[in-house]
C-alpha cells in the first residue's frame, strides 16, 4: 500500500451524557491533543443536520475524517446515542481512498449497536480498542482488513485506489494489451469479454472485433471500456500497414531513434519502410508504431475533410464538416480509405485538414 494514505490514528468519539463530546478511545494513545479536539469537536460530534455525512476537517497539520452517527431511542440518556469512529492523517495526505472505509465502519457500528447494543454496553464497547488497533495496523500494512467482531459479525475493509473515468471507446479504436495476454485468467471475466479476448491483438479495431467475434458492437465497446477502466489494455488508433518479418539482429538505439525521427508529418509507414529499409531489417515496425503510440512518442495524424464551398441550394454537409476523421467516416459509411480518398480528391469543394 502506498504512502499516500497512511493512517496516523484511529479514534472513537462519543457524546458523554455528563462530560459532553469526548474521545473515548484512540489508537495510538494521546495522538489527538486536548487542544486539537476542542478545535474540531464541532465537526466530530455534530448537530443533527450533519449526521451520516462524511466530514473531513483540516486543523493543526492534521486531517480528521469521520462520519457522525446518531441513534435515537428512549433507552439512551438524553434519548440519543451520538458517536463517531474516525481516522486521522497528516494534512498533506490524499484521503479519498479512506472515505469509503470510514463510511463502512460507521455503518457497521450502527448495525452492531442496533442489533446488540454493542456500543451502549460498557463491556462490549471495550472490544473496540483491540479492533481499532488491528484496523490501524492492517490497513497501513496491506490496505485490507478482515475482523470478526463476534460470532455473527465480521468486518471486511479494503482500500481501493481512485481511478479516473475511462475514455470513451470508438468503433475505430484499436485495443491492445500492454502485458502478455497469458496472465489473463479468462474464467474470471464475463462471457462477452471472454468471447472477444482472443480478437484483441492490437490490429483489429472494435468494429472488426465485433464482426469477427460475432458480438454486438455496443457490447464490444462496453467490454473494452470496462477492461480499460481496470487498466488492462490500452487503446490505440487504427494503423494500416503491411506485415514485415522481424530481423534477427538486435536493433541499436540509433536505429530506433532514426526511425522515430523519420516519422515526420505526412510520412506514411509505407514511406518509412522504403526510406529506412536498412534499419527496418532489425526492427519490427508494427511494434515500433505501437510502442511509440503507447508512450506518446508519436501520434497519428488524422485527415478531416471539410466542404468549404457549396451553393445555396445544396444540403449542408453532414460528415464533411471538419469534425469527423477519415477513420470515422470510413467506419460509418463502409467505404475504404482508398475509396474515400478518390471521392474527395475529385471534389473541388472539399479541402482536407490533417491534425
Partner 1 sequence: MMFNPELAEDRKPMYRHSQSTLYKNGDNTRPISVILVSSGSRGNKLLFRYPFQRVAECTSSLAAKQRSPYALNTAGDVLEDQDGDSREQTPLTDEQLVAGFSDIILATILATKSDMCGKKFELKIDNVRFVGHPTLLQHPHIIQVSKTDPSPKREMPTMILFSVVFALRANADPSVISCMHNLSRRIAIALQHEERRCQYLTREAKLMLAVQDEITTMTETDGSPQSPFRQILPKCKLARDLKEAYDSLCTTGVVRLHINNWLEVSFCLPHKIHRTGGNHIPPEALERSLKAIRPYHALLLLDSEKALLSQLPLDCSPAMVRLIKTCSAVKNLQQLAQDADLALLQIFQIAAHLVYWGKAIIIYPLCENNVYMLSPHANICLYSPLAEQFAQQFPGHDLPSMLAKFSLPVSLAEFRNPLEAPVQEAQLIQMVVWMLQHRLLIQLHTYVCLLVPPSEDEPGLRDEDPPLAARVGGRSLSTPSALSFGSPTSSDDMTLTSPSMDNSSAELLPGGDSPLNKRMTETLLASLSEHERQVILNIPAAQSPEDLRMFARLLHYFRGHHHLEEIMYNENMRRSQLKTLFDKFRSVLVVTNHEDPIISIFQSPME
Q: Residue numbers of the site for partner 1 (CB under 8 A)?
A: 35, 38-39, 42-43, 47, 49-50, 52-59, 249-250, 252-254, 257-258, 260-261, 264-266, 296, 299, 304, 306-308, 317, 321-323, 351-355
Whole-number Å distance between alpha carbons of 322 and 278: 38
Residue 130: name the closest of 107, 105, 115, 148 by CA.
148
Min dist CB 304 to partner 1, Å, is 6
Length of the chain: 355
To partner 1, the closest distance from the beta carbon of 303 in angstroms equals 8
CA–CA separation, 78 vs 257, rounded Å? Answer: 76
For partner 1, which is the closer residue by CB, 76 or 260? 260
State which residue, 143 or 317, has the beta carbon closest to partner 1: 317
Question: What is the DSSP annotation of 14-75?
Answer: EEETTTEEEEEEEESTT-S-HHHHHHHHHHHS--GGGTT--EEEEETTEEEEE--EEEE-TT
**What is the three-class DSSP state of 326?**
helix
Which is nearer to partner 1, 224 or 344 (by Cβ)?
344
* Rounded Cα distance, 226 and 321, in Å: 31
Q: Which is nearer to partner 1, 28 or 107 (CB)?
A: 107
Pick 155 or 301: Cβ nearer partner 1:
301
Smallest separation, CB 256 to partner 1 (Å): 10
* Plot region of 202 (φ>0 → left; ψ -120 to 50 → alpha; else → beta): left
* H or E segment and range at residue 205: none
| CB of 49 vs partner 1, minimal distance in Å | 5
Cα–Cα distance measured from residue 10 to residue 140, given in angstroms and rounded to the nearest whole number:
11
Q: DSSP for 69-89?
A: EEEE-TTSGGGEEEEEEEEEE
Q: Which is nearer to partner 1, 254 or 313 (CB)?
A: 254
Least distance in Å: CB of 342 to partner 1? 18
The least CB distance from residue 247 to partner 1, in Å, is 12
Q: How far is the CB of 109 from partner 1 (least distance, A)?
A: 18
Judged by beta carbon, residue 41 or residue 133, the one nearer partner 1 is 41
Amino acid at each position: 500500500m502506498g504512502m499516500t494514505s497512511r493512517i496516523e490514528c484511529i479514534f472513537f468519539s462519543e457524546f458523554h451524557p455528563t462530560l459532553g463530546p469526548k474521545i473515548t478511545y484512540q489508537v495510538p494513545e494521546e495522538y489527538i491533543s486536548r487542544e486539537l479536539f476542542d478545535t474540531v469537536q464541532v465537526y466530530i460530534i455534530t448537530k443533527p443536520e450533519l449526521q451520516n455525512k462524511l466530514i473531513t476537517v483540516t486543523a493543526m497539520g492534521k486531517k480528521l475524517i469521520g462520519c457522525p452517527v446518531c441513534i435515537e431511542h428512549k433507552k439512551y440518556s438524553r434519548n440519543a446515542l451520538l458517536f463517531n469512529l474516525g481516522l486521522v492523517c497528516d494534512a498533506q495526505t490524499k484521503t479519498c481512498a479512506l472515505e469509503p472505509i470510514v463510511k463502512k465502519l460507521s455503518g457497521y457500528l450502527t448495525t452492531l449497536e442496533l442489533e446488540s447494543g454493542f456500543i451502549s454496553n460498557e463491556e462490549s464497547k471495550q472490544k473496540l480498542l483491540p479492533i481499532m488497533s488491528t484496523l490501524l495496523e492492517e490497513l497501513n500494512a496491506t490496505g485490507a482488513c478482515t475482523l470478526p467482531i463476534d460470532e455473527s459479525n465480521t468486518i471486511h475493509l479494503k482500500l481501493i485506489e481512485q481511478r479516473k473515468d475511462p475514455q470513451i471507446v470508438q468503433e475505430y479504436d484499436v485495443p491492445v494489451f500492454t502485458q502478455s495476454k497469458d496472465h489473463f485468467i479468462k474464467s474470471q471475466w464475463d462471457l462477452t469479454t471472454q468471447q472477444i479476448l482472443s480478437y484483441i491483438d492490437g490490429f483489429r479495431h472494435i468494429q472488426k472485433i465485433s464482426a469477427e467475434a460475432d458480438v454486438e458492437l455496443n457490447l464490444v465497446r462496453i467490454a473494452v471500456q470496462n477492461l480499460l477502466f481496470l487498466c488492462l489494455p490500452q487503446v490505440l488508433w487504427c494503423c494500416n500497414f503491411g506485415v514485415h518479418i522481424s530481423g534477427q539482429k538486435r536493433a541499436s538505439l540509433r536505429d530506433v531513434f532514426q526511425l522515430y525521427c523519420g516519422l515526420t508529418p505526412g510520412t506514411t509507414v509505407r514511406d518509412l519502410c522504403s526510406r529506412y529499409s536498412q534499419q527496418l531489417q532489425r526492427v519490427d515496425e508494427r511494434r515500433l508504431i505501437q510502442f511509440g503510440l503507447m508512450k506518446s512518442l508519436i501520434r497519428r495524424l488524422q485527415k478531416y475533410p471539410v466542404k468549404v464551398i457549396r451553393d445555396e441550394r445544396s444540403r449542408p454537409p453532414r460528415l464533411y464538416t471538419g469534425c469527423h476523421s477519415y477513420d470515422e467516416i470510413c467506419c460509418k459509411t463502409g467505404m475504404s480509405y482508398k475509396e474515400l480518398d478518390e471521392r474527395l480528391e475529385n471534389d473541388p469543394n472539399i479541402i482536407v485538414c490533417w491534425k
